[in-house]
Chains A and B, each alone.
Chain A
Amino acid sequence: MTGDASRRAPGGRAASAPLMGKATEPTIFEYSAPGRRAWSLRTTGLPEWSAEELVPAAHLRAEPLALPEVAERDLVGHFTRLSHRQYSVDLGAYPLGSCTMKYNPKVCDEAASLAAFRDVHPATPPVGAQGWLQVLVELEEALCEITGMAAATLQPAAGAAGELTGLLLMRAWHELAGERRTRVVVPESAHGTNPASVTLGGYTPVTVGTDARGLVDRAALAAVLGPDVAGIVLTNPNTLGLFEEEILEIAQMVHDVGGLLYYDGANLNPILGVVRPGDMGFDIVHLNLHKTFATPHGGGGPGAGPVAVSQRLVDLLPGPRPVRVGDGYGFATPPRSIGRIHSFHGNALVLLRAWCYIKLNGGEGLRRVAQVSVLNANWLHEKLRGAYDFPFDRPVMHECVVSAASLKRETGVRALDVAKRLLEEGFHAPTVYFPLVVEESLMIEPTETESPETVAALAEALVSIAAEARAHAAAGEHQPAHDAPRTTPVGRLDETRAARKLVATFDARERPAD
């Protein structure tokens, strides 16, 4: 299937990624040779001192630190080879559910590389950084318009930092009212990080299950709500890719006991410009700019996790915040601020990329982003019917969750094997075994950035993997998927052994003698 389909999926399929061979790349330490350097100060004319002349003997190391000693050419070769063994959003489709990995437009990177932005020190007084402040203020205003909130902090460094900020705001709000609430409700279908953030925020998470439709079980919610509940953390659409249709009723129930509603922005992508968390009754919203607003994600970060709040929480926001002052811009710290969450103004160059993305798309463009992401996910979902199980057979939002439970029973090929086999077809694997409420789950999010041809090729690959497994099972043959991936530079890793016998460091001194 590779030949034709790769032509038909120009953006998404990476099966032709160039690789020179399957040899293992040694660690940088193994390239080390004594005295070799990637730099030289010999032509600078500067005098040289030895460490002994500058540092008192008591503070000197007895033995030199075992740092790798390599020439520049070898250093660049090593990291370039490693980079060529990586999958990335630039290389091909990255249908990782729950995490919105989408292509990052290069024009945003170009803006972030302009010296006028890049070379401004964050401590520059407002008078010398009016352009930067304008970007930050306009980004805050745009994010508030998109989410339907009153004001936002741009400081949090990423999603987890945003979640913690949101929970600290929740705590500060209740403490201001003289209340000490102890529990926060986290539905089973919430984003995976939520229970950990709730715990870090000093609250006890209380789980509420999912009903037969895949939505929050309202009867179970009613049973746990009470005066000790500080709030609820919700993702809408939820982690099953389903829209919580009764969100207004849920908001009413939580507000009735004095709790706040926290919106996890992980799944904002499919509702951009269509509905707003603020209109659903949310009090606190965090956004993952590296997901929804196409800034670099994962190892390519850093991320950014702004937190927007409703009017009654504005005075608690972290500060100082960039604000409009007359015709220009300055800083102001909210009167009851919970304090700083990040040095200076957060990951500013990421914020700049998101500002570019919003400006480039405009309101209509952002709405189109949402619509196409939902269309792609539903189209893909429907193509998988018959090959995989549909635990919740209803229209999805930006991602779909299917199950390999029947496939596993019939053929012995599990969700993990499907994911590994998909790598051989030139696609990044989807999320597997999450959400936990679905057995053998595959959680797939094609995003709006992939072309119809790529989504078709991805669907075809997933269907053919299931068909291949059933054909091999019927013939009583060994399953190729159990050995996958066979074409990648690194094959199937023994994840169990790696977890049971964890070795997290490399020590060159333990290297056996040649």
Chain B
Amino acid sequence: MNAPEELHYTPDHEWVRAEEGGARIGITDFAQDALGDVVYVQLPTVGTTVAKGDTIGEIESTKSVSEVYAPLSGEIVAVNSDLAAAPQHLNEDPYGEGWICAIAASAPDELESLLNAEKYRELTAT
């Protein structure tokens, strides 16, 4: 499974890309493969304040419904509204066009508590 070196990961299979103005969030290649074809994505609302671990969205696939958890605390500053019309981006390009939202982190130190790519690959190796 593809897990880019520069990203941070959670054990719940979210990825975080540290960016100017907000950290971009999505689900990993491993997660999209396990979920199967994604048919619906419920996004958070811009302006919502979230704590690390809060549910910020829901992903429905042909197999199941799964929750997306905030990997960091902060404010939702952007969401990928293209997903409403094109949920398949989550399957086709989970680290690019399939991003879910961006969070302006209120506790940037939390980034250090996430997994690096190597640790995440270990976690998902079978």
Contacts and interface: CB of A to CB of B under 8 A. Distances in A.
Interface stretch (A17-25, A258-266, A476-484, A495-503): A495-503
Contacts of B126: 405
A480 B95 CA distance: 33
Contact of A496 (B34, B39, B64): B39
Contacts of B63: 433
Interface size class of chain A, counting residues whose CB lies under 8 Å from the partner chain: under 10
13 contacts: A433-B36, A433-B63, A433-B64, A436-B64, A439-B34, A495-B37, A496-B37, A496-B62, A499-B39, A499-B60, A499-B62, A500-B40, A500-B88
B44 interface: no
B34 A495 contact: no
Contacts of B36: 433
Contacts of B64: 433-434, 436
Q: DSSP class of A's interface residues: helix, strand, loop or mixed?
A: helix
A241 B16 CA distance: 38
B98 interface: no
A130 B34 CA distance: 57
A438 B118 CA distance: 25
Given A495-B62, A499-B39, A500-B88, 11 more contacts: A433-B36, A433-B64, A434-B64, A439-B34, A495-B37, A496-B37, A496-B62, A499-B37, A499-B60, A499-B62, A500-B87
Closest 10 A/B residue pairs (Cβ): A499-B39, A496-B37, A433-B63, A495-B62, A500-B39, A496-B62, A436-B64, A499-B62, A433-B64, A496-B39
Contacts of B88: 500
A499 to B, nearest CB: 4
B75 to A, nearest CB: 24
A496 B86 CA distance: 12
Interface in B31-74: 34, 36-37, 39-40, 60, 62-64
Interface in A96-145: none
A43 B74 CA distance: 77
Interface string A426-453: 0000000110100100000000000000
Most chain-A CB neighbours within 10 Å: which of B60, B62, B64? B62
A439 B35 CA distance: 10
A433 B61 CA distance: 11
A500 B40 CA distance: 7
Contacts of B60: 499
Most chain-A CB neighbours within 10 Å: which of B36, B60, B63, B87? B63
Nearest to A441: B63
A439 B36 CA distance: 12
A496 B64 CA distance: 12
Interface in B1-45: 34, 36-37, 39-40
